Structure 1
């Protein structure tokens, strides 16, 4: 293998000629050799987008020669297109507040730019990773700005996916509006309801999640580009700051805005805590819905069995015929991961000290992972579970008829104590509420029929009146 010699503050190092990264990336790969996930590629691509915008801006300001700037722009575009994804292998869990990631992008873009200009990798006299690619920038304004842009893109995707899930639940609400089933509280028989009503409640929960997540974008739009190291803007000009913001807006099509106080954006990570908290809220709802579906699908003969989930795969290596609710189980596990990520984001955000938070790599990894996992799992939940879900109408009716829940409707007529006595008698004798009422002749037959009519029991009124 051919090598080139590169040097930095700490000394010299042989770098394989085949790689576009340089000495800083090599040291990071050694220092953070965790065999763990690499930095999220969405973050890498939006850092490259910032490099492109900076080259365009610095060229307009005549701080960067046109030929050099155009090479950087082209190389940045190739990174964004994914042509160099294999060059970004540093662990997501790294010290240095993201400096290694920023340097990795700088080096890859610089060496590709050198190639485009006809030079050989490592000839940084042609294009320098710091002097040219990182001109007017610091990791501390590039990294959080790229994270905000990446998060907004993923938030928009997730919002759309949640909208589709909400619509699918609403379709089930209408489809099952005439199916009466047993409602339960604390896993015990409660009152009759329609199957459609349960899906309507699920839909409302997802609607809130979609709206909350959609709206949080507004607080992610502020970026601190031009603030450089701590937000004071040293080594950047006012013209650069304003031109960069406009360029980023044009390149992304997002409503990105310049922060009126860059130091705030540089050191405070509360917006990521807020965003993660909303993802946690969404996960709580998804976890609840998925567990409800698993419970109501239980059986097919020994459980509740009121819902029939789509059969996706065989469920056991030893029990023939077993089919498990694998999609709700997957959704539940994703939800638990997002909840765990939220805890990490909360802790990491609180550990920022003075003018910078050194733990932004953990925040970035957890936040972007949560957004990606939720988006993909919500799509699968809709397509592989909700869309094909059916109700077992016969089982719903059977469970309802066996229950004693209709005794509640008697309270306005005979009082709580007598209704309890009727319920107890039915339970002990194995008879229905109707049969006990008829035997004890507490109410006229026509009134009993009205009170105990299933359609009367699911409306907001006094049954039978």
Structure 2
């Protein structure tokens, strides 16, 4: 039996697997773009968003009298099968591609058309009954359907990061409460500063990451301004009057989110600033997250010659040559994810800058880059929370001893004996390897009762 069918496009005939729901233009993309291991079917949310866009389009076309009920019902059925995550293997094209996303749009058009054909009782490829271009793509072009689907997919995917970030906040906040009475020395420029609690340190970690939740959400909401109805360049050619507004309204209803038509479709078709802003938000989070992981690695350094203030959960032997060594592998892997996300932001910026005139043809790399950043950041946040944060313990007695022996506590005496005298005491303590406490008493600067009151670490943790 012949396992292929012949389909035709502008460039001529091409063999397509007979069982495939995709068609000739998808097959050309498979042949042309063998670039990465990232295929469209790796991102079901993108495929489902494409189906949602096509569903809104066919319902709008039907409402405006451009398509009959038979085609409308068949195309709607096909879109709903994709929304139910069926036929995902029919999207095998590379995410990195030329053509401004035309291959993605046509992959969706062809799969939907062939599912609709079978639903109507016709064979795949009999496009005279349901055409990928004339019916599924009616009143659209790649230049409005592709970015709209991409934006909706990114908006929905973004919830993964904010949900994971919220869980990480609560985990860090629980640790802050657990460590609220654990005294330690704060540090500036890696030098002893003033006392604080380990709880205050973890609370700062929690708050700095929590702040990124509304910021990322606000950037994601920019994706809900779409250019459906713009067709090729934003003039609306081949889309009927009222199509853009009606299609946006249907998508808003489907998603129960405030999807709206762009103010100016020409501007919106070439503009990629929402992608830049969102990539920047992920970069900002990555920088903060990496800093937290740097601090965790530093606080856990040792166990004999480092800070040794906290213990990270032991996850694997740390060396093939040094017995007993355990490395902070979870913060290390999160650091590396953050580096990748920071670099990805540069990719998005360069792709956005490369737009010319009425279109930016570099959106496929923007799509892959942002999906990758969302995926690996979400995984990293979850890994950090479950495999590291929740198992951290404090070396309480060691921390207390460090405070009592620190030169930094002399800062508390500044208002009492003055900066000059405090500096003199601190210098002498360092030179003679003696404690500030003993020197103050020896020089009769304060009584023991006064000194104990002023140097009690608990009295130095708040404003007074």
TM-score, length-scaled by structure 2: 0.95
**Number of residue pairs the alignment of both structures matches:** 461
Alignment match of 1:170 (pick from 165, 170, 173): 173
Query: For the residues of structure 2 that align with 1:218 and 1:121, how far apart are their CA atoms?
Result: 39
Task: Determine whether 1:37 maps to 2:34.
Answer: no
**Alpha-carbon shift at residue 318 of structure 1 (Å):** 4.1
Give the aligned partner of residue 415 of structure 1: 418
Distance 2:375 2:267 in 1: 27
Q: CA deviation at 1:240?
A: 2.4
Q: 2:111 — aligned with what?
A: 108
| DSSP-derived class of the 2:16 partner | strand
The CA RMSD over aligned residues, in Å, is 1.8
> 2:183 touches 2:196 (CA, 8 Å); kept in 1?
yes
Deviates more, 1:163-172 or 1:12-21: 163-172
- Structure 1 residue 118 and structure 2 residue 121: aligned? yes
Deviation at 1:48, TM superposition (A): 1.5
Shift of 1:219: 2.2
1:251 corresponds in structure 2 to 254
What residue ranges of structure 2 are gaps of 5+ in the alignment? none
Query: Mean alpha-carbon deviation: is it higher for 436-445 or for 192-201?
Result: 436-445
Could you tell me how far 1:418 is from its partner in structure 2?
2.6
State the match for 2:312 in structure 1. Answer: 309
2:138 and 2:17 map into 1 onto residues whose CA distance is 26
Say whether 1:208 aligns with 2:197: no
What do residues 14-61 of structure 1 show as CA deviations (whole Å, max 9, x unaligned)? 111122211111211222111431234322221111112212222233
Q: How far does the alpha carbon of each residue in 1:176-216 deviate from its partner, in whole angstroms, 9 at most, with x for none?
A: 11111011112221111011111121122112211111222
- Residue 281 of structure 1 corresponds to 284
**What is the Cα deviation at residue 229 of structure 1?**
0.7
Counterpart of 2:168 in 1: which secondary structure? Answer: helix
**Local SS of the residue matching 2:458:** coil
How far off is 1:266 after superposition? 0.6
Aligned counterpart, 1:6 = 7
Match of 2:29 in 1: 28
Give CA-to-partner distance per residue, 1:256-275, whole Å, 9 cap, x none. Answer: 11122111211111111111
The aligned counterpart of 2:69 is 66
Partners of 1:159 and 1:201 lie apart in 2 by: 18
Residues 1:393 and 2:391 aligned together = no
Deviations 1:147-203 (A, max 9, x none): 211121122332222222222222222221111101111222111101111112112
Give the stretch that moved more between structures: 107-116 or 135-144.
107-116
Which of 81, 92, 96 is equivalent to 2:95? 92
Q: Which 4+ residue blocks in structure 1 deviate beyond 6 angstroms?
A: none
Give a deviation string over 1:266-324, Cα, whole Å, max 9, x none: 11111111111111111111111111111111222232111122233343444444332
- What TM-score, normalized to structure 1? 0.94
3-state SS in 2 of match to 1:6: strand
- Higher mean displacement: 321-330 or 13-22: 321-330
| Alignment partner of 2:300 out of 290, 297, 310 | 297
Structure 2 contact 403–409 (Cα < 8 Å) conserved: no
Paired with 1:301 and 1:119, the residues of 2 have a C-alpha distance of 75
Shift of 1:64: 1.9
For residue 253 of structure 2, give the secondary structure of its aligned residue in structure 1.
Answer: helix
